[in-house]
Amino acid sequence: MATPIVMPKQGNTVESVIIVDWKKQIGDTVAIDDVLCEVETDKATMEVPSTVEGTLLATLFAAGDEVPVMETIAWIGAAGEAVPGSEEETGDEGRGARGEEEMRDEGRGA
């Protein structure tokens, strides 16, 4: 089963971060503590490590995107595994890995 990777809290007052760069690409093998991406707050740049091992199945945000803390940013699982909410998982046409983000935006009336 695929595991969601959640943007960790970056301090008590930080509510969102900006993804500077993805260090791993979809399809890459990931080990625990491998750096997945680099993020920036108004005060510092930090690395986000993986909490699980497997294959990076999907990234839900691109470099430059602002991401709320505690939000799912990626999925890691077995190679070829379907990502929850993806076209393969739901049977919906036209929804890729970023479809989950679009569904969240629709729920906020965006």
Torsions phi, psi of 100, nearest 5?
A: -65, -40
Residue 110: pLDDT over 90? no
pTM of the predicted protein model: 0.76
Please tell me which residue, 74 or 90, carries the higher pLDDT value.
Answer: 74
Q: CA quadruple 60, 64, 66, 69: dihedral positive or negative?
A: positive
**Domain spans of the chain, in order of start:** 3-83
In one-letter notation, the amino acid at residue 94 is G
Ramachandran assignment for 37, one of left (phi > 0), alpha (psi -120 to 50 degrees), beta (any other): beta
Nearest to 61 by CA among 95, 18, 110: 18
| Partners of 104 in beta bridges | none
**pLDDT value of position 10:** 79
Q: What is the pLDDT of residues 12-56, one digit of tens each?
A: 888 999 999 999 999 999 999 999 999 999 889 999 999 999 999
Fold assignment, 3-83: OB fold (Dihydrolipoamide Acetyltransferase, E2P) (2.40.50)
Q: What is the pLDDT of residues 57-87, one digit of tens each?
A: 999 999 999 999 999 999 999 999 999 876 5
